[in-house]
Every structure is written in structure tokens, then in C-alpha cells.
Amino acid sequence: MDEHRPTIRRQLTRIVLIPSISFLVLWAAMAAVETAQAGSLLLSVASGRDGIAAVDRLADDLRAERRLTQIHLGDPDDAETRRALADQRERTDAAARRVAGEPALTWRGEPLPGARAFAPQSDRLAALRAAADRPGADRVRTLTGYSDLIEETSEATAALLRPLEQGAGASGAALARRLITAHEQFARSDALLAGAIAAGGMEYQETAHFTYLTASYRDTLAETSDEMNGATLRRRNALVASEPWTSAERFSRSVVTRPPIDQEGSGPASWNTEIDVGAQEWNRAATAAEPAMARMVAAQIDRTVDSAWTAAVHRLALGAAGSAVTLLAGIAAIVAASRSSRKLTARLRRLRDDALSLADSRLPTIASRARTGRRVDVTAELPRLDYGADELGQVADAFNTAQRTAVGAAVKEAEIRRGANRVFLGIAYRNQALVQRQLRVLDEIEADEEDPGALRRLFDLDHLTTRARRYADNLIILGGAGSARRWREPLPLADVLRGAITETEEFGRVRLTSAPRARLSGAAVADIVHLLAELIENATQFSPHTSAVDVNCGRVNGGIAVEIEDRGLGLTDRGYAEADRVLGEAPDFDVMALPEEPRLGLFVVARLAARHGVAVRLRPSPYGGTSATVVVPDRLVEWAPAAPPGPPPALAEHRSGAGPVPEGDDGRG
């Protein structure tokens, strides 16, 4: 072999090594990873912004519902509060549905930890409302229940902020979480005081909780003032300087610092529940201060999200620059590799097209011609693929050899099958002729015999010979030829059914229960009798000898249905599926493809059914066996006029050899 001749291996080596070495030398991998991380952060920022907005809306609606619930529990008779609460619950439900459908709040189809309480399958909010609506509901417990749900929203917001903690964004996210907590503490204290005002007093436990809440959010605002900047700081300063905030602080301090003991009169001392704050003045102050505080929190969250977005864009720009450098180096390597691979690619494409053309069109055509008996010259009809002397040319030579071997084998197999089929049909026709002669001889002996016992044995022999004729017909049908029996005129359907029954070995077990007044087309009589006889014989062979086989016939949509039902063991699901496949496709009969225990009757039935458009289906019988349904199409049936009133005609008794009598035959078709 010429060492300087180009080979596929050398070309592939150049294609792979040149770009691989270039990409390994450069830092493409690191740039790609950095770009992917920056893109992931951008997606997290974008989805987190939408998720935080949805959670904030839900938290605001929950706070409003909590406040109205506290007022309602303090004064259950206030109709206006009840209406406002009902409207607010609808708004809360709408916000909860938006949170449940927000993609940013799910991970692999499951809600994030803070959003699980608002998933469609969760009943926490409904249970809390039901408890609050019961007479005598506890305000403290209800306040705690709503606060726990709002804490879930805070947890969801924290989960969305967590991916944004990149570099300088970490401190901003931490500050946002602290301000969210302070906002919730203020809103909780507002709801607690509003409910106590409506109830007409604040108990010791409520006062202690209120004191803790007010001290907590004041401390948070004082401690975080140095960490704030920008819009957050401006809104914080505007908040603490506003008249509503000042009033709210004055009212809350008066509640906390009121005298704790009530010593009116001479009775024992008790906790002072009286609140020196009116509902309207507290509502004016709190409902104006709470949105201002919410705007301060929103400003910090926006600042955190914007900071994370800027960091992600910066990282993405760096990654894109690195990728561009890597791409330029890769392009240089790929251009060098593509020049050497272009010729190889063209040759491979041409080989593929030629091979597909042979496999898809020429080879099937040649094989079909061989199966139909026409002469095939393999060398002349299969062009040789010539692709040179390298490895690609060797592949083409191997394909040439393979296709010629395959076509030669197909031609040889077709010749063998045609020869075997001719021998097969020759034996079948000779066997059929002998059976026909035997039937004629039996007819002559039966006509001369007068002894009843001998005549009965002759009838049994006549019946066995009739079955032998049907088996000979099976061979002819499987060989692809038609039955020798023909009828010119239509025959009554009852005679067709009787003829099929009498061609079976145990015809005495078969009960014909019904047969409509109709005639079957003469061209189909022989094949339909044969088809039904095969199915009836299967039913008698695979059912107990003491049981009956019922044959029922009736008109259906599109034709006549003949149902053959036995009481045997039936088939397995796989057996029914295999039988339906054979009956539905009418496969070519191939002795080499038969199973160890072939059921030739199914092949015969499938061939006959396909010949006349008859539908055959097997299914389990209610009696435990198998029910075979044969639907003969309307085009093969002639319906008789309705019978005059009177008793229905009785079906004739069966006799061995009795059945439809074809024209020009010996009484057995």
C-alpha cells in the first residue's frame, strides 16, 4: 500500500487534532463556564423579580385580611367590617393563585418552601378562616395563625433573594430581609391594636406582645439606618418624618406606657385593659404609615435586584469577551480542518445517496420481481459502486458484495419457494381428486345399501371423507389457489351454516340456534362454508366433549354476524393478540416461519376472510371458552322478504354429508 496515499484515518486525525489542540491551549472551557453562570444569574434575577412582586402582593393582602379579621373578632356585629373582610378574602385568594402559578416559586414541579402553604392542595388558609369564623374565636390565636402564613411569604422572598447574594449584593439582600421583618412587625402590631380597640380593651398578653413588636421594628430601623443609601434611605427619612408615622408612634407609646393596674373603687387590683386611642385616629395613622414603610422595603429589594442584575451583566460581558476570543481561535482551526474534510464529506454523502437509492428502490424492485417469478440478472441490474481504493472505496466494495449476495439469496429463495409451492399444489390437487372419487364411490354404495347399521357406518365414513376433502382444500388455499367448488345461484344462509357444521368431526355437539332469512352469494358459498367449518372445528376440538358449541347468526350493521361460542379453556391474552394479528393481516404462508405447533386453520381463515372482505375476531367467552365472530358484508347477502304470519319453519336435521349442494358436483361441493 502506498504510504503517501491519503486515508480516512489521516484526514480524520487532522479534523480532530487541529481544533482540539487550539481549544485546549486557549481558555475556552473557563470562558464558557463563566458565561453559563452569568446567564443563569440573569435568569434568576429576572424570575426572582417577578416572584418577589407576586409574593409581596400576597403578603400585603394577607396583612389587610389579618387586620380586618382582628377588627371583626373584636366587634363581630359590625356589618361594614364583615363586608370589607369578605371582599379582602377574595383579593387574597386571587393573590394566592398568582403565587401558586408563578414559575419562579417552583422547582422541578414542586413549590418552594415558602410557597407550599399557598399551593392548591394546601388548606392552611381555609382552615384558619374557618376557625376565625367560629363563634368565640380567639383573637390571639387567629393573629398568630395569620402571622405564621405571612412568615411563609417572607421565607419565599428570602429564597428568591438568596441567588442574588453575589458580591456586594449579599449585604443588600441581608438588609432587605431585616426590613421585611421590621415591616411585618409593624403590620402585626397594627392588626393587634386595631383588634383590641374594636374589642374595647387590651389584655396583658396582648400588651406584652404589642410592646415586643413595637420595640423590635424601632430597633431595626435605628440599627439599619447607617446601612441604607439611595432611594431606601430617602424613603426611610421621609417615613420617620411623616405625620402619620409620628402619630402612630405616639399612639403606640401611649398604649405601652399606660398604667398597668386598674385600682378603681375598693375592690382588688386588676389589669388595666383600657386603651386611650380611638379607632379612627389609629386607622388614619397606621393605614398611612404602613404603605410608606412598604415602599421603603420595596426600594431596598429593587436596589438588591438591580445590583445583582448589574453584576450578572458584567460577568456575562466578561464571559462573552472570553468566548469571542476562543471562538476566533476555534474558527481559525476549523477553517484549516474544513478544507481537508470537505472532500471527504462530499464522498461520504455521495456514497450514502447511492446506497440509499439501491436499498430503497432498486433492491426492493429486484426482490419483488424475483418473488413473482420473473427473471433477474443480478450482475446487470445492480450497478457497482466505485469510490477509489482507499478505506471509503473498500467500504463501497464491501457494500457491492453484500448487496449482490443478498439479492442472489432472495432470488434463490424465491425460486425454491415457487418450486415447493408447485409441488405443494400438485400433491393437494391429486389428494383432492382421490377424495372426490372416494365420495362418489361412497354415494353409490350408500344408494345400494339397505342395512341400517351398515348404512350408518357408511355415513360416518362419508363424513370423514368430507373432512378429508376440506383438509385438501386447506392445502390448496394455503398454496395460493382457489377452491374447486363453485355455486352459481345464492344459497339460503341456513343451508350454508348446516353445511359448515356437517363438515366438522363432532357435528352432533353443535347447536344452530338462529339463522335469518337471507341468501349468500354463490361465489362466496364455498369459501364461507370452509371458513365457518374451520372455526367450528376449532371450537369442538378445544372444548370438553360433553359441552355444546353454539352457532348464532343475526343481522348487524353492515352485514350478517355469525357467532361461534365454545366452553373450553380459551386462550391467553397473548394468544388472542397473536390470533388477531394473523386474522387481520392475512400473512403469506411460509412453512419456515410456522411455530412448533402451527394452527393452520387460522391461516386458512385469514386467507378466506381477506378474499371476501369478511371480518373475523376472537375474544373470551362469558362461559370460559372462546367466542369467534364472523361478519359477512352486505354485498354478499341477499335478504329474503318477510315471512307470512305463522309458525317458524323448523331447521332440518343434520346428516353426514348433508349441506349446500353445488352445481355440477356430487352433493358435497
17-26, pLDDT tens digit by residue? 676 666 666 6
Gap between the Cα atoms of 18 and 34, Å rounded: 25
- Based on DSSP, count helices (H) and strands (E) in the chain, helices before strands: 18, 12
Residue 232 in contact with residue 299, Cβ under 8 Å? yes
Residue 367 in contact with residue 410, Cβ under 8 Å? yes
Residue 530 in contact with residue 482, Cβ under 8 Å? no
Residue 278 in contact with residue 230, Cβ under 8 Å? no
DSSP run (H or E) holding 462: helix 452-478
Q: How close are the terminal C-alpha atoms of the chain, in Å?
A: 76
Gap between the Cα atoms of 134 and 137, Å rounded: 6
Over residues 182-222, the pLDDT tens digits come to: 998 999 999 999 999 988 889 899 899 999 999 999 999 99
Half-sphere exposure of 599 (CA within 13 A, CB side): 16
CA dihedral 316→319→324→325, nearest 10 degrees, is 150
Cell numbers at residue 559, please?
352485514
C-alpha closest to that of 414 among 373, 463, 448: 373
Gap between the Cα atoms of 232 and 597, Å rounded: 87
Question: pTM above 0.85?
Answer: no
Gap between the Cα atoms of 244 and 250, Å rounded: 10
Gap between the Cα atoms of 528 and 259, Å rounded: 109
Residue 312 in contact with residue 48, Cβ under 8 Å? no
Cβ of 186: how many Cβ atoms within 10 Å?
A: 26
pLDDT at 245: 94
Residue 625 in contact with residue 631, Cβ under 8 Å? no
pLDDT at 657: 37
Helix locations, 200-227, DSSP H: 204-224
pLDDT at 353: 75
Region class of 624: left (phi > 0), else alpha (psi between -120 and 50), else beta:
left
Query: In sequence order, which residues have a C-beta less than 8 Å from that of residue 247 and are 6 or more positions away?
Result: 281, 284, 285, 289
Task: Give me the average pLDDT of each 10-residue run along the chain (669 residues).
Answer: 57 65 64 64 68 84 90 89 91 86 72 74 85 88 89 81 64 86 91 90 90 92 89 91 92 89 67 87 91 90 80 73 69 66 72 72 70 64 71 76 73 66 60 65 72 71 66 61 69 88 84 88 85 86 87 90 88 85 69 52 80 88 87 87 46 36 35
Cell numbers at residue 299, please?
426600594
Gap between the Cα atoms of 455 and 450, Å rounded: 7
pLDDT at 428: 58
pLDDT at 649: 39
Sign of the alpha-carbon dihedral angle for 413, 414, 420, 423: negative
CA distances from 14 to 25, 45, 350 (A): 17, 44, 22
Intervals of CATH 3.30.565.10 along the chain:
485-639
Angle 389-391-392 from CA coordinates, rounded to 5°: 85
DSSP 113: G
485-639 CATH pick, 3.40.50.300, 3.40.1190.20, 3.30.565.10, 3.40.50.261: 3.30.565.10
Gap between the Cα atoms of 304 and 157, Å rounded: 12
Cβ of 329: how many Cβ atoms within 10 Å?
A: 17
Cell numbers at residue 390, please?
482507499
Gap between the Cα atoms of 83 and 621, Å rounded: 66
Residue 95 in contact with residue 58, Cβ under 8 Å? yes
Residue 414 in contact with residue 641, Cβ under 8 Å? no
Query: Which amino acid is present at 568?
Result: G
Gap between the Cα atoms of 121 and 380, Å rounded: 74
Sign of the alpha-carbon dihedral angle for 246, 252, 256, 257: positive
